A and B are shown apart, each in its own frame.
Chain A
């Protein structure tokens, strides 16, 4: 028999934990986290590097430390967890179908649901790298799991494609393990991850970063024997005559993350084609009443701290919904990405109450001037697509401005970053 649940959270990563805690704090009595893995924390247990918690705790923590802080709080607050349990269906009436070795086949009909499934990595197939199909081609996150959790090394000589944060962090990690990382290859003219990772993981270890380059061919029959690396032109197409072969036995792919929204789709949640995540309002409610979302399932964040913050909003709103049994629908203003802005989350705001806006620019630039519909203006020394911009917008200012319908966010820059 299904237990009564006020708020069900799908996923026990940083987003799921923060959402569950916030839901309890908001007064939801029965909060249940459903997690498919063997332990809580999502990917945090395998992120043994530091750099976590600088915003949230104002402390430099490792992934496991950051995870523990949230886990302890969740336990203290009486959040229930069900591990090794896979949610295989979610419908628009919020009915959850899940299965586990221990509990068998289950159904839940919670008062509200928080989606916190995180994201997945783009694979070789998704990136479309030509060549043969040997062993030794894997994503940086999978490699991280093998090395940090399972205790195995996929190879001894690596090329990393993509300068995403996990790729750069793994380049350092593998070097510390005695492996040789020949190069990190990035197709764009700028790195795909945080500057601090470029410095601390690549420069400090003498690992070359090849910007405007790509891997144009994978060689090897059984194991990877090498990759062809070449320059790309302005259209990101390989340039003939610039190819060179780099011998290696492993290719790591760190070419971007995709929010994991299969369940959201099943429930009929509307997705934003740019973020790949649900369209959410100020309360992180999706287009389906009573289904909320937070963290990387909504938009890929660069810092876990923002994941936690965003998920807290979703968790609190879910608790309110479960209590009142209806949506406090924030009909109102549509936030529209304008000049040089790729996306803004949330996509809908109420026009009342303070709201934090998350956004990314399309192109990097210096002396950036960000203009949120004339309500808020802010200057930045530089902006880059790889660094999310987080802005607090005061409800009072918004109300005074009298803006209705649309709020356009523009970003003007001088020169290139």
Chain B
């Protein structure tokens, strides 16, 4: 007997799964999302730097590519979507820079293409002029193409907001639920998970890093994914003046990539893309750290290692070489009916609203009855961000709820009110709180607020502090009480 029956089951609560769930929640369709992690957006979504890409690069965005069409479809949707869900969307603008005057031709070609596609209003600036706009750019840079349309979002905030909105409109979310096997049968699927069996009529595979493995469970399609590893460094907010827009340089060698990106929170990220790597291995290395800093300094020489407060690794998942690095898969399987694969590779975040719409159309075309739900509410209220409010708004908020007057994280000025609200919205872990309202993302990285946030989470969830985890499962923060080791009879080891 199945433990649950649902019409549409989405595997994976990353940005694609969440976007699709939210799009489907417009209809009176029964939708369930399963996610193996303790929270949403924690797979490859989390390590995305959040640039809303314009898709103007001639090589990477040929009009015949499926992913190019998804992206161009999604671009006009992103800003209104962020407005509806109250997540920050900031048009920072972006630079494509050259270190070599010979490459100017490429920029001219790109500018002409952007214009012909109606994708923006790119303009070339020589170093002497661009210095006025970005005074910290290296004098080694000869010039650059500026696109004022480029924006940034926070991929995890957007995923959370879409998922929150989807569940508010009736979708079901099951966290810490890992798919272990799938059987296709007449009229549907039986999905085995570590939390029980789920019967579903349609299956949407948005498993991110593991999308090919899920497809393989059904023998559906034989695409293989190539994980391209990248490392990202985070700079202290004090350095925000070093760059106000996205800086990238035309690669000098194929596969070479380095960028400096402002985030919606004001930190700068800098990063490198590396080569194919063993999947799942998110470890940073000394070599990558050094290379990322070296490359970032080619753009902005003033970046100091003293200002690096954190670094992490992530993946871009690309499809088979023979199809090309640039193709994606958002389609119903040719071998397994009612099984839809979703994987974009690059640019996953920017193209996600387009991909979600496409999945809805695929379902409709296949004959799924989808009646619009008149009760659908597209809006979602964001958690109040104390640090960004005006004096007057702060005073009013503290008056209404004194917990907003209790600053718990000093680096990012996060209040108890925000942390409690994050837990109410589904955060059950330290990272869950951190990726909603930021305590621990600042320069002290949780040194001060860590014990205090642990206490609040335990209190709000009604669990002992020894059970509060960093990111679910066995990642407990303080597994033991004091004296417990002594009671056990002293040292182990």
Contact = CB atoms under 8 A, between A and B. Distances in A.
Contacts of B478: 146, 150, 152-154
Interface string A217-231: 110001100000000
B11 to A, nearest CB: 21
A189 interface: no
B64 interface: no
A153 B403 contact: no
B485 A178 contact: yes
Interface string B281-292: 011111011000
A134 B475 contact: yes
A123 B481 contact: no
B138 interface: no
Nearest to A173: B482
B481 A130 contact: no
B441 to A, nearest CB: 10
A10 B394 CA distance: 21
Interface in A185-227: 216-218, 222-223
Interface in B446-493: 446-448, 450-451, 454-455, 465-466, 469-486, 488, 490-493
B405 A105 contact: yes
Given A105-B395, A178-B485, A223-B475, A86 B407 contact: yes
Contacts of A217: 283
A154 B482 CA distance: 9
Nearest to B415: A99
B407 A125 contact: no
Contacts of A145: 451
A152 B466 contact: yes
Interface string B433-444: 000000000011
A138 B430 CA distance: 13
A106 B472 CA distance: 39
Interface residues on A, range: 35 or more
A177 interface: yes
Interface string B301-337: 0000110111110000000000000000000000000
Given A142-B446, A153-B485, A155-B479, A88 B473 contact: no
Given A36-B410, A152-B480, A99 B398 contact: yes
A258 B5 CA distance: 55
A125 B445 contact: yes
B414 to A, nearest CB: 10
Contacts of B234: 125
Given A99-B407, A135-B475, A152-B465, A130 B286 contact: yes
A45 interface: no
B399 interface: yes
B413 interface: yes
Contact of A130 (B283, B444, B474, B480): B283
A247 B454 CA distance: 26
B469 A177 contact: no
A120 B477 contact: no
B475 A123 contact: no
B282 A133 contact: yes
A203 B282 CA distance: 37
A102 interface: yes
Interface string A113-136: 000000011011110101111110
B286 A216 contact: yes
Interface centre among A124, A139, A178 (most CB of B within 10 A): A178
Contacts of A124: 310, 445
A150 B407 contact: no
B289 A36 contact: no
Contacts of A123: 309-310, 443-447
B128 interface: no
Contacts of B410: 36, 86, 262
B372 interface: no
Contacts of B446: 123, 138, 142
A156 to B, nearest CB: 6
A152 B402 contact: no
A147 interface: yes
Contact of A105 (B398, B472, B493): B398
Interface centre among B410, B478, B480, B490 (most CB of A within 10 A): B478
Given A100-B406, A223-B476, A156 B485 contact: yes
Contact of A146 (B238, B451, B491, B493): B451
Nearest to B486: A178
Interface in A135-187: 135, 138-139, 141-142, 145-147, 149-157, 177-180, 182
16 contacts: A86-B410, A101-B406, A120-B448, A123-B309, A145-B451, A150-B451, A151-B481, A152-B478, A153-B478, A153-B480, A156-B480, A156-B485, A178-B486, A180-B492, A222-B471, A262-B411
Given A153-B478, A177-B482, A180-B493, 11 more contacts: A123-B310, A124-B310, A125-B234, A125-B310, A125-B311, A126-B306, A130-B286, A145-B451, A153-B479, A156-B493, A222-B472
Interface of B: 234, 238, 282-286, 288-289, 305-306, 308-312, 391, 394-395, 398-399, 402-403, 405-407, 410-411, 413, 416, 443-448, 450-451, 454-455, 465-466, 469-486, 488, 490-493
Interface of A: 36, 84, 86, 88, 97, 99-105, 120-121, 123-126, 128, 130-135, 138-139, 141-142, 145-147, 149-157, 177-180, 182, 216-218, 222-223, 238, 247, 262, 265
What are the nearest 6 A-B pairs in CB distance?
A178-B485, A125-B310, A152-B478, A86-B407, A123-B445, A135-B470
